[in-house]
Chain A
Amino acid sequence: MRSREKTVPLSRINPDDNTFHITTKTCINSLVNSIQNVGLITPPILLEKSSKFIIVSGFRRIAACKQLGWQNILSRVIDSGIKRLECIKLAIADNSFQRQLNLIEQSRSLYMLSPFYKDDIALGKETSSLGLPENPSFIIKIKKIYHLPQTIQNSLLSNNVSLDMALELGRLEEDVGVKFADLFSKLKLSLNKQMEILTMFKEIAFREDISIFELLKESCFQGIVNNDDLDRNQKTQKIRSYLKQRRYPALTKAEKEFKKHVSNLKLGAGAKLIPPNNFESTVYTLCLQFKNLIELKERKAELDKIIKNPSMKKILR
């Protein structure tokens, strides 16, 4: 690739042209310190366009030098006749061989490259040499990130949602996907809980012929989310409980009734009554704890009381 080293006035570099922008990093403080102490080790790569220069690689370095008050910067300027694909590869390689690109950066890279290849299989053959994933099915997934709303991308970047969840949110209406990304980021939920909550929302909305957006706006739900007296674990628990009650009203009611009856049994600390899963079987389990014969006799007496208690009859009806 033809290029030459040249000192370029910073005023002639267009920092807003993001044609070749790969990095998601915006903080330049450590870079400013480094340049201040040891100077600019690697010159940025520029492409001359009309009377200006656009950045192929080195966005943060240029921003750091500007912050340091530099007027000029030693750069590597590539020949303007060079093909766009070569510039893209240069921009990607300059980033990916210094550090592991995050998913957003990989997505940007693949999105830039894809118009130049007939399909994702052909693209995959090229990407490994650029430090990018080469599996076509993974490429298909990663490329979709590029089109996700910024909030969802940010949640993915900060590991608040997984790639699969980010794509799932991307399939929802934009407002709805963003609201879930925001919720999941605030509550710091595991993937399983995120999936559970999202599925509940979708199914409740579908069952009740309302939109997910309407469901999200409902006061019951908003009351939990905006309750400042609750920490995030409490909020999560209340949200799950609320959704379960709404999605499975009969089952939830039966569970509440069972709890009420068990409470009437006044079981001591050494006894526990476990209902059949989802009340599907008719087999209940009673656990009794004891350390010695005296305690066992006490349990026996408790057991006799339980058998006579009308609540036990109600449980087993």
Chain B
Amino acid sequence: MPGKTKIELLYIDQQVANTPVAISIKSRLNVPSEIVEGPHKVFKSVSSANDPIRKGKEVLFLTRNKGAFIKTCPGTRSYTCCGYKILHIGTFCVMDCAYCILQSYFHPPVLQYFVNQDDLFSELDILFSGKAVTRIGTGEFTDSMIWEKWTDLSGLLVPKFSSQAHAVLELKTKTTAIDGLKSLSHNRKTIAAWSLNTNKVIHNEERQTASLSARLKAAARCESWGYPLAFHFDPMIIYDGCEEDYKHVVEQIFSHVSSDNVVWISLGTFRFIPNLKPIVQKRFPGSKIIYGEFISGLDGKMRYFKPMRINLYRKIVGWIKEFSTDVLIYFCMEDDEIWKKSLGFIPSECGGLPRMLDESAIHHCELDV
């Protein structure tokens, strides 16, 4: 297994070099830095490496987000989307998971952090002024908490969300970098969320992530600080013995935190665009995750054969329900057949998935409707 990735070089876009955020990150990161005129040199340096994906984790590019900070989750046709919004704070990740879609999503994959936070907060002000119930997260194009070491982002975002009552921020992570959340005023408008997997998958497929036990201990600490919680079983990997292992994860969750404080639990089995396969073969030659019984789904992504997904979903739903019948369980990008056969209903019977999630957020995060 290759050694740990570590940021070795900081590129700073000339346009933001003198901003307080860039200056602060530079002093906290303490690695050699270089001011560049634009992304070209950074992208070239990453693209020309033998392993551009690894290289993309070893440089950090501080720049402006020239597009929107608030985006709608792209979803995928033919499957039910949760209507989530993405708060686009940066791209890519320092952790290295075999199944990570970001490996093939960015061309080239570069760890970027957007320092024009005034624009970000202006967009949030507009969002909040709309007074619509909104679920928004930073963990879609990056991990929400990897930035804690070098930035004050959570220290700014959490209080920002605490001062309004219509939107919830979800911080989704595989780290334990939560110390900064302890003393923040959150008013339950920030959900601390973890992607979870079995010990076997974490050990074999998720390089440089926190262990399951460490993640759940961190979740318990957040709960003790009053934060609502969420968990994401995504991607669930099917292997011999996986069912017992996922059952163990469920048991571990509820031995660490109270089910009453869990806003939602999402389930999603491993799916991938076909061009991820050669990347996994090359970068994770010992990984078997791409050799499951995958078929081409309705959106062109490879998915486990449907009855296999239903079988695993049914079981994990049953185990979760043994601990709590109230906790909201939902599927990420699955169709009505999966919902009906695994949960016994389809989202449209309950007003649709976005509404189900909104209602849980309203209830747990004390939102105004």
**A interface vs B, CB < 8 Å?**
203, 206-207, 247-251, 254, 277-282
Contact = CB atoms under 8 A, between A and B. Distances in A.
A177 B337 CA distance: 44
B293 A281 contact: no
B39 interface: no
A254 B335 CA distance: 19
B291 A278 contact: no
20 contacts: A206-B288, A207-B288, A247-B293, A248-B295, A248-B305, A249-B293, A250-B305, A251-B293, A254-B307, A277-B296, A278-B295, A278-B305, A279-B305, A279-B306, A279-B307, A280-B296, A280-B306, A281-B78, A281-B335, A282-B336
A279 B305 CA distance: 8
A254 B310 CA distance: 14
A203 B306 CA distance: 20
B300 to A, nearest CB: 11
Interface of B: 78, 288, 291, 293, 295-298, 303, 305-308, 335-337
Nearest to B287: A206
Contacts of B335: 281-282
Closest 6 CB pairs of A and B: A278-B295, A207-B291, A251-B305, A203-B291, A250-B305, A282-B337
A251 B306 CA distance: 9
Contacts of B306: 278-280
A279 B298 CA distance: 10
Nearest to A207: B291
B313 to A, nearest CB: 15
B208 to A, nearest CB: 25
Contacts of A249: 293
Given A280-B303, A282-B337, A248 B293 contact: yes
Q: Please indicate which of the listed interface residues B303, B306, B307, B308 has the most CB atoms of chain A within 10 Å of its own CB.
A: B306
A277 B307 CA distance: 14
Contacts of B337: 282
Contacts of A250: 293, 305, 307-308
A279 B288 CA distance: 24
Contacts of A254: 305, 307
Contacts of A247: 293
B295 A251 contact: yes
A281 B335 CA distance: 9
Contacts of A277: 295-296
Nearest to A254: B307
A61 B306 CA distance: 66
B257 to A, nearest CB: 35
A278 B336 CA distance: 17
A282 B335 CA distance: 10
B149 to A, nearest CB: 38
Q: Please indicate which of the listed interface residues A203, A206, A207, A280 has the most CB atoms of chain B within 10 Å of its own CB.
A: A280
A278 B298 CA distance: 10
A80 to B, nearest CB: 46
Given A251-B295, A251-B305, A280-B297, 6 more contacts: A207-B288, A254-B305, A278-B296, A280-B306, A281-B78, A282-B335
A132 B337 CA distance: 59
Nearest to B341: A317
Nearest to B297: A280
A249 B335 CA distance: 23
Contacts of A203: 291
A252 B288 CA distance: 21
Contact of A280 (B288, B293, B295, B336): B295
Nearest to A282: B337
B291 A280 contact: no
B348 to A, nearest CB: 15
A280 to B, nearest CB: 6
A280 B303 CA distance: 9
Contact of B298 (A206, A248, A281): A281
B317 to A, nearest CB: 19
A278 B295 CA distance: 7
A281 B296 CA distance: 11
A245 to B, nearest CB: 12
A175 B335 CA distance: 47
Nearest to B309: A280
A282 B306 CA distance: 11
A249 B295 CA distance: 12
B342 to A, nearest CB: 14
A206 B288 CA distance: 7
